[in-house]
Amino acid sequence: MNQNPDLLTLRSVSKSYGTVAVLHDIDLSIRDGEFLTVLGPSGSGKTTVLRLIGGLEPLTTGDIRLDGQDISRMPINKRPFNTVFQDYALFPHMTVSGNVGYGLSVRHVQRKEIARRVAEALELVQLGRFADRFPAQLSGGQRQRVALARALICRPRLILLDEPLAALDLELRRQMQEFLKSIQREIKTTFLFVTHDQEEAIGMADRICVMQAGHIRQLGTPHELYYKPNCEFVARFFGENNLVAGKLGPVQGEQRPIETALGRLICSITDQPHLKAAPEGASAFAAFRPEALHLADATDGDNRFSGIIADLAFAGSSTVATIKAGADNAAQRLRLRTPSRIGGSALRSGETVALSFAPHEGHLVLA
C-alpha cells in the first residue's frame, strides 16, 4: 500500500463562498488504488472537497494535481473522475441501461460496445435483470447500485462518493458497505468516500481523513486514528474515549507523565515527535479507551487510581461501567468496558474500586 504513488494531490486548497471561508488551506494526497474516506461532522466541508475535486466548483486558492499535472482549471466533463451523488441523480426519463450507458454514449462509443459494457457493469452490480426498468421502479438500494454502475462504466481514475449510504436503512447499509468494498477490490479503482458515520469509516477505509470546520485534523489508517489521535477533536470524535486533562511532565524515553486530577498518569509517546517536543507544563489530555481501563490488581504499579462505579450497563457482548473518579470520587467521569460474562459482571454498582490502565495503552493529546 505505501509504495503506491500519489494519484491526486490537493495543495493549500481553500474555498470561500463570497466572504464565508468553508475550506482552509487543505493539503491532501490520495494514493492510487486506495479506499480513502473523508470523515467529519455535518457542515465540516466534506462535500465541498468532493465538488472541488470533481470540478463542480472552482477553487478559491491552491491547486489540484493529477499525476503531477495541474488540473485545477480542467472542465468537469474532461476530468477522469465520476461521482456517485448523495441523491443518486439518476435520469428519470431513461431506463437503467440508458442511465448506465450515458457516459459512453455522450462520448460516441459504438452502440454494440455500449451494450456490451452496460451488460458487464450491470452484472458487476448484480442488476442484470433490471436493465429496462425506470429509476422510479427501483428500491433505494437498487438505485444506489445503478448510480455506482453509471459512475464506473467510464473506467474513471477516481470514483467520488458523497454519503451514498446515508439514505439506506441499517441492514441495507451494512450490505452495501461490504458490496462497495468488494467492488473496489475487484475493479482496483481509487475510491474517495465521504461519510459522517465513523463506524462506516472504520469498516471500509484504507485511510481516513478527519475533517472539522473546514480543516483536515488528521489523516491516517483507522488504527492510527484510533490509537494515536493527534488532537482533542479526533480523540473525542473517533470512537469512545476517556480524556483526562492535566499538565505534561518531563519526557522519559518513549513515555511521558501527565499530572492530572487522578494523579500522575504515564502514557506512551512512541512515534509522536510533537509530543516529545511539547514543553513541560503544557496543557494536555491523557487519553485511554474504555476497553483499556480495568480493575487494578497487585501487578499494576503505574496509573492506579480509585473510583466509584456509578452505573453499569449491559450492552450485549460487552458491559459498560460509568465511573466517577478524582477528587471526592466526583470530578472525573470515566467509562470502562469489559467483555460480558454469562454469570454476570464482577463489578457492583456503588462499589469503590481501584482502577488502572497500562502505560502503553494510554496516549497524550495536546489541548
Partner 1 sequence: MNALPRPSTIFLAAITTLVAVLLYSPLFVPIVSSFFTISHGDVDWSSPTLSTYRALAENHDILTALRTTLIVGLCTVVLSVVSGTLLALYYHGRRSGRSILQFIIFLPFLMPPIISGLALLIFFREIGLERSLLTVVIGHTVFVLAIVYRTVLMRLQSMSRTLVEASYDLGATGWQTFWRIILPNLSSAMVGAAILAFALSFDETMITILVTGTQSTLPVRLWAMMRLGFSPDINALVALILMFTVLLCVLAARFLIPRQMATERS
Ligand X SMILES: Nc1ncnc2c1ncn2[C@@H]1O[C@H](COP(=O)(O)OP(=O)(O)O)[C@@H](O)[C@H]1O
Binding to partner 1 (CB under 8 A): which residues in 111-150?
134, 136-137, 150
- Axis-axis angle for helices 111-124, 140-152 (nearest 10): 130
Residue 106 found at the interface with partner 1 (CB under 8 A): yes
Binding status of residue 154 toward partner 1 by CB under 8 A: yes
SS3 (DSSP) at 163:
coil
Query: Kind and range of the H or E element at 177?
Result: helix 170-187
Q: Which amino acid is at 303?
A: N
Q: Establish if 195 lies at the interface with Mg ion (CB under 5 A).
A: no
Identify the H or E element spanning 176: helix 170-187
Least Å distance, CB 55 to ligand X, is: 15
Binding segment (CB under 8 A) for partner 1, from list 71-79, 163-171, 281-289, 325-333 = 71-79
Q: How far is the CB of 45 from Mg ion (least distance, A)?
A: 9
Q: Which is nearer to Mg ion, 14 or 86 (CB)?
A: 86
Under the binding rule (CB under 5 A), the answer on residue 47 touching Mg ion is yes
93-127 exposure pattern, b = at least 16 Cβ within 10 A, e = fewer: eebbbbbbbbbbeeeebeeeebeebbeebbebbeb
Q: How far is the CB of 127 from partner 1 (least distance, A)?
A: 18
22 binding partner (options ligand X, partner 1, Mg ion, none; Cβ < 5 to 8 Å by kind): ligand X
Strands lying side by side in the sheet with 158-162: 81-84, 158-162, 190-195, 35-39, 207-212, 215-220
Instruction: Report the run of H or E that residue 190 belongs to, with start and end.
Output: strand 190-195
Residue closer to partner 1, measured from CB, 57 or 197:
57
17 is a site residue for partner 1 (CB under 8 A): no
Cell of 242: 476517556
47 or 218: CB nearest partner 1: 47
Footprint on this chain of partner 1 (rule: CB under 8 A): 54, 56, 76-78, 81-83, 85-87, 89-93, 102-103, 106-107, 134, 136-137, 150-151, 154
Footprint on this chain of Mg ion (rule: CB under 5 A): 47
